[in-house]
């Protein structure tokens, strides 16, 4: 399984800890049960990396990881069900508002919150009992706990993104897109007030994981005004490991549509980068930047990379997407755009689009 189970468990932990799911669980009255589930997951997660390394020599350990993987999938399915039912309930409530008939329909429907809460309570209990057994069984194996920094260095799984987006699939981000484009095409107050003029400025898009930062960056990146304004556009996914050597290689590849040779010296690659950017007004998107200690972005790393980028023409911009506001500070952003959840109307539009697919299909199933 390689480091597969660890990745799944980490995704589940992120889901359990996210603000959005905490709000949903609070609304459904299952916060305590899910917190217990999260605590048990936390204790197991510490030994997963060691277990995955040792499983080849121990069949029982491999079977233990298999059971854990199954539970992870079940928890992930459960969280998805919570999110889906929450949207479905909101839509039913909107349609039944002010109508006694509508309220009665909701009460006796399969979406009745009392019935759903009862069913989910049993489901959570069953999953938690299975997870408790798995947690107790881990004491049978000589497993070593790994701290977070060690895990981050040992398990580097790049999240790759690209710049392509179907704009018609995106709902509710027009105002955010408009604001970012204004930042890109004009000088911000911070840029105007600088004592020393810099050729490159940073705009950060911050927000919770999964809220749509990358999608917003794609919308901006592909907007016809942005395409026309900049001489060159580049897109690089950073992920949790901010390594200047790798990033310079990828920026060059994005700028020139040519990969650098593995045997090529870093000095040669840096010269290629500066040659490609020199006196050109460019837009560079650094997607998914993290501040994970020494492997994430640091002030020193950013200063070194920015020095290479400063050969571009005045007015060049870097868009950074990140969950962390500290990243925006480290990278000396001239403005920070905090992306928030979609408004209720947009959430309903998105839900209907995903649930019914074709336009007008929802009219066939009004209730």
Sheet of 200-206, strand order: 232-239, 282-289, 316-322, 200-206, 335-338
User: β-strands 316-322, 200-206: how paired?
Assistant: parallel
Cα distances (Å, whole numbers) of residue 18 to 11, 25, 72, 151, 320: 10, 11, 16, 21, 21
Number of domains in the chain: 2
Are both 204 and 339 inside the same structural domain?
yes
* Under 8 Å between Cβ of 180 and 321: no
- Domain range for 27 is 4-153
How confident is residue 226, by pLDDT bands cut at 50, 70 and 90? very high
Domain assignment present for 350:
no
Confirm whether 353 is domain-assigned. Answer: no
Do residue 140 and residue 174 come from a single domain? no
* Residue 131 CA neighbour count, 13 Å, CB half: 25
Beta strand ranges found along the chain (DSSP E): 200-206, 232-239, 282-289, 316-322, 335-338
- Range of lowest pLDDT (144-148, 201-205, 236-240): 144-148
Same domain? For 146 and 177 the reply is no
> Residues 59, 149: one domain?
yes
Residue 89 lies inside a defined structural domain of this protein: yes
Q: 172 and 288: one domain? A: yes
More confident residue, 91 or 10: 10
Question: Is a pLDDT exceeding 70 seen at residue 356?
Answer: no
Angle 221-359-350 from CA coordinates, rounded to 5° = 50
Per-residue pLDDT at 104 exceeds 50: no
Contact 133, 107 (CB under 8 A): no
**Same-domain pairing of 189 and 316:** yes
Looking at the structure, do residues 118 and 205 belong to the same domain, yes or no? no
Which residue, of 120, 153, 186, is where some domain finishes? 153
CB 167 within 8 A of CB 301: no
The span from the CA of 181 to the CA of 206, in Å, is 16
Q: Pick the last residue of a domain from 124, 153, 182.
A: 153
pLDDT in tens, 250-268: 999 999 988 777 678 889 9
How far apart, in whole angstroms, are the C-alpha atoms of residue 71 and residue 233? Answer: 43
User: Is residue 184 a part of any domain in this protein?
Assistant: yes
Q: Is 70 within a domain?
A: yes
Say yes or no: 244 and 275 in one domain. Answer: yes
Same domain as 145, residue 18: yes
Picking from 153, 186, 214, the residue at the C-terminal end of a domain is 153
pLDDT tens sequence across 148-201: 444 444 444 445 555 555 554 555 578 889 999 999 998 776 677 665 678 999
Residues 290-310, mean pLDDT to the nearest whole number: 88
> Whole-angstrom Cα distance, residue 90 to residue 99?
15
> pLDDT at position 33, please?
73
Model-level pTM greater than 0.75? no
The pLDDT value given to residue 363? 47
| Residue 234 domain flag | yes
Residues 98 and 58 in one domain: yes
* pLDDT computed for residue 191 by the predictor: 72
Domain co-membership, 263 together with 320: yes
360 domain residue, yes or no: no
User: The domain that contains 338 carries what CATH number?
Assistant: 3.40.50.300
Q: Is 319 a member of any domain?
A: yes
Greater confidence (34 vs 289) lies with 289
Q: How many other β-carbons are positioned within 10 Å of the β-carbon of residue 227?
A: 11
268/318 same-domain check = yes
């Amino acid at each position: 399984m390689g480091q597969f189970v660890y990745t799944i468990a980490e995704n589940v932990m992120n889901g359990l800890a996210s603000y959005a799911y905490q709000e949903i669980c609070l609304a459904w009255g299952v916060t305590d049960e899910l917190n217990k589930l999260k605590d048990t997951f936390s204790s197991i997660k510490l030994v997963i990396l060691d277990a995955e390394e040792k499983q080849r020599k121990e069949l029982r350990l491999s079977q233990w990881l298999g059971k854990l993987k199954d539970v992870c999938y079940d928890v992930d399915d459960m969280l998805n069900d919570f999110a889906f039912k929450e949207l479905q309930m909101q839509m039913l409530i909107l349609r039944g508002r002010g109508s006694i008939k509508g309220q009665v329909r909701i009460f006796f429907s399969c979406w009745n919150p009392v019935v759903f809460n009862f069913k989910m309570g049993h489901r959570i209990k069953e999953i938690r009992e299975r997870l408790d057994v798995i947690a107790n069984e881990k004491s049978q194996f000589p497993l070593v706990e790994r701290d977070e920094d060690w895990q981050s260095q040992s398990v580097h799984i790049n999240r790759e993104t690209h710049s392509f987006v179907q704009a018609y699939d995106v709902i509710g981000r027009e105002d955010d897109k408009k604001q970012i484009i204004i930042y890109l095409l004009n000088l911000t107050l911070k840029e105007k007030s600088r004592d020393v003029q810099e050729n490159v400025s940073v705009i950060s898009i911050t927000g919770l994981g999964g809220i749509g930062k990358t999608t917003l960056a794609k919308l901006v990146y592909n907007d016809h005004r942005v395409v026309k304004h900049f001489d060159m556009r580049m897109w690089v996914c950073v992920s949790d490991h901010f390594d200047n050597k790798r990033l310079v290689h990828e920026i060059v590849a994005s700028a020139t549509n040519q990969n650098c040779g593995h045997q090529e010296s870093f000095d040669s690659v840096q010269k290629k980068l500066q040659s490609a950017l020199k006196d050109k007004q460019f837009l560079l998107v650094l997607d998914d930047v993290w501040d994970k200690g020494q492997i994430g972005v640091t002030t020193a790393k950013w200063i070194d990379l920015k020095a290479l980028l400063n050969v571009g023409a005045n007015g060049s911009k870097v868009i950074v997407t990140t969950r962390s506001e500290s990243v925006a500070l480290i990278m000396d952003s001239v403005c920070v755009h905090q992306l928030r959840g979609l408004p209720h109307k947009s959430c309903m539009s998105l839900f209907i689009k995903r649930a019914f697919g074709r336009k007008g299909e929802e009219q066939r199933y009004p209730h």
